[in-house]
Amino acid sequence: MLTDRMTADVLDSASHLQIIANLAVGYDNFDVDTASKKGIMLTNTPDVLTEATAELTWALMLALARQIVPSHQAILANQWKAWSPDSFLATQLTGKTLGIAGLGRIGTAVARRAPAFGMSVVAWQRQDSDGSSPDGILRLNLQEFLQRSDVISLHLPLTTATRAVVNRTWFQNMKPTAFLINTARGGLIDESALKEALDRGYLKGAALDVLNEEPQGASHPLVSHPLVLATPHIGSATSETRRAMALRAATNIVAALNDETPPDLLNAAFLPKA
Ligand code: DGY
């Protein structure tokens, strides 16, 4: 599971281990170097969760912009007294700019849905953020990306280079009306900087499906923040997708135990030659 930390200590105590098949596409829970030095195969479950995670990203974006959860809570609290021209006013997405940080499989699937909602898309990646638009999506440098985006959605892998990449500089450069969505990994965001930015009005709200330490409850300062919509790491949580992920992980394990190359082998380049 993505919740199991495959550290050097764990790997050192598993002398017969041949393969670790993550039930997730992200594999920041693996010590890739140690596993590779020990000749342990690592696999993940790409592709099969792309669409489910893109759907959740849009669900969070729409819910956040249109204040679905606070509106529902207002009804439950008997605060809906009458229709009025200025009650429950939210933000329209049509005509706005969606900023995608990380145009991999999931980021691209999120971007693909944007025209249906009348949004234009810009992107930032750590490479090629140079004003080019090979696929019609404009790559911007970080400053321009932050200044132009009305919604920023994170789709970067968590690595040592991307840990806490979303920091004070981001919040100081974002539009105060912008929303931040994270369906990738909690560790991408400096959470205390996000809390401070929300308190100071540097952005309008955040939807967080993932947190740096999971699970969390109401005592977490971001989970309980009035400008945050939090969900319990459910990006891939559809029955169709979880089944496909399980089959993919099983296929990788069966291949490895049959001395074949698992289809989703991550560390082929680092494994010692047989
Ligand atoms: C992943 O696959 O990395 C998700 O976080 C869990 O589905």
pLDDT tens per residue, range 73-126 = 999 999 999 999 999 999 999 999 999 999 999 999 999 999 999 999 999 998
- Does the CB atom of residue 22 touch ligand 1 within 6 A? no
Q: How far is the CA of 82 from the CAs of 71, 72, 75, 90, in angstroms? A: 13, 15, 11, 17
Nearest atom within ligand 1 for CA of residue 185:
5
Q: What is the DSSP letter of 214?
A: S
Q: Ligand 1 pocket, 162 CB below 6 A?
A: no
Biggest CA-to-CA distance, the chain: 73
Is 187 a pocket residue for ligand 1 (Cβ < 6 Å)?
Answer: no
**SS3 of 151, please?**
strand
Domains and CATH numbers, the chain: 8-47+238-270 (3.40.50.720), 50-230 (3.40.50.720)
* DSSP-H helix ranges across 29-140: 32-37, 50-65, 68-76, 105-113
**22 pLDDT exceeds 80?**
yes
Per-residue pLDDT, 273? 65
Instruction: Give the SS3 label for residue 253.
Output: helix
The H or E element that residue 124 is part of is strand 120-124
Q: How far from each other are the two terminal CA atoms of the chain, in whole angstroms?
A: 28
Let me know: does 154 contact 183? Beta carbons within 8 Å. yes
> Which tokens hold the place of 70?
């606070």
Query: What percent of the chain stands above pLDDT 70?
Result: 99
Q: Hey, CA dihedral for 198, 91, 120, 206, is it positive or negative?
A: positive
Residue 126 annotated among the catalytic residues of the structure: no
Q: Taking a C-beta distance cutoff of 8 angstroms, is the pair 34, 10 a contact? A: no
pLDDT in tens, 141-182: 999 999 999 999 999 999 999 999 999 999 999 999 999 999
Compute the distance between CA of residue 207 and CA of residue 57 in angstroms, rounded to an integer.
9
CA 140/CA 188 separation, integer angstroms: 19
Q: What are phi and psi of 237, to 5 degrees?
A: -85, 65
Radius of gyration for the alpha carbons in the chain, expressed in angstroms and rounded? 20
Residue 139 falls in the annotated catalytic set: no
Per-residue pLDDT reduced to its tens digit, 179-195: 999 999 999 999 999 99
Split at pLDDT 50, 70, 90, the class of 269 is confident
Residue 191 designated active-site: no
